[in-house]
Amino acid sequence: MTDLFGRRALVTGGASGIGAACARELAARGAEVTVADIDGDGALKLANEIGGEAWAVDLLDVTALEGLRLEVDVLVNNAGVQRIHPIEDFPPAQFRDILALMVEAPFLLIRAVLPHMYRNGFGRIVNISSVHGLRASPYKAAYVTAKHALEGLSKVTALEGGAHGVTSNCVDPGYVRTPLVDRQIADQARTHGIPEQQVIEKIMLTESAVKRLVEPDEVAALVGWLTGPHAGMVTGASYTMDGGWSAR
């Protein structure tokens, strides 16, 4: 497919996991993709693979993002981290960092791309949220808070951008087979005092009707569809990909 030929795309957290799968998907659809990641070497490696560009960036440095103006037609806000603690033990600095990375940075990037999108009458913004943008789990106060906030930001963007040909949607996967989830498994095992395999079976997939992890390519396929010209009437929505978790 070449429905994004001539379009410029930016994917944050693009060096691995969901971000890398999205970068490959958008490049395969013809977009010129910028792979943004704090891992500059990883971003460059993937950019070379897909014929794109690399942007080594620390999105926690939100002040540096305030003056940005980006000529980007497709923005995928994907960068994120996870920390597992009970609220009473949650380090405040970690809470603030997660909200900066997963709410404030997406806001600033959306702010940076909208003028270009408005001028051209076309824009596709996809925010990689989570089932935790719709549901809560214990020990994830910062992550759940950030994803709920991202859902709200996405909807406001949809309402403001609609008259300008700009859509904004969330993709809400369950647990995806990524390095982030691998770290969560270890953190959950430590928090609950159980083996890692039991974390997958007893905690991660207990609410899911489909008992397997989501694959990054599955998320990327949905992102690709949402960014195409045929998705112009799809905006302000949240697309769950959670194996039935949120159906309960």
Question: Please, which residues have CB within 8 angstroms of residue 54's CB and are 6 or more apart in sequence?
Answer: 34, 35, 36, 37, 40, 43, 44, 46, 47
CA 132 to mean position of chain CA atoms: 12
| Nearest CA-CA partner of 129 in 61, 3, 226 | 226
Q: At what angle do helices 17-28 and 40-50 cross, to 10 degrees?
A: 20
- What distance in Å separates the CA atoms of residue 4 and residue 80, rounded to the nearest whole number? 25
Could you tell me where the DSSP H helices lie in 29-91?
40-50
**How many CB atoms are closer than 10 A to CB 97?**
15
The DSSP result for 93-153, as a single string, is HHHHHHHIIIIIHHHHHHHHHHHHHHHHT-EEEEEE--GGGTS--TTBHHHHHHHHHHHHH
Question: Please, which residues have CB within 8 angstroms of residue 182's CB and are 6 or more apart in sequence?
Answer: none
From the candidates 118, 143, 175, 239, give the one annotated as an active-site residue: 143
Known active-site residue 118: no
Residues with catalytic roles: 143
